[in-house]
Structure 1
């Protein structure tokens, strides 16, 4: 978790990030910092259809892109 946590403006208290205290959360927060890794964040307001999701998955797979989806 510590190696991959980027941060969020909504995580402002330990209650929202169990296992970490306030100071750890602030130290780990990298919002607005440039990193060497190539990172892309996509957000969807509407999940879409099976067709559009399959197209997205196809592009991710062909480009060897790891992805995490939160439903």
Structure 2
């Protein structure tokens, strides 16, 4: 019975393979990280360090954008 189920699963996998969707590369565009505080503070510094590591791991440019004001509501 196990061999039958395994054979059936293999046949289904081979049959359905041509209809599988191709994976897209992610991310395709530049990533923007919004920091809701002014530039130069500790939050900005930590975010820039994380963005640098993300850029290396993802192979895509990561930009840090500071949007200060209104107590962080704008960011």
Q: Could you tell me the TM-score, scaled by structure 2's length?
A: 0.29
Q: Which has the higher helix share?
A: 2
Larger Rg: 2
> Which structure dedicates a bigger proportion of its chain to strand?
2
- Between 1 and 2, higher relative CO (CA 8 Å, sep ≥ 6) is seen in 2
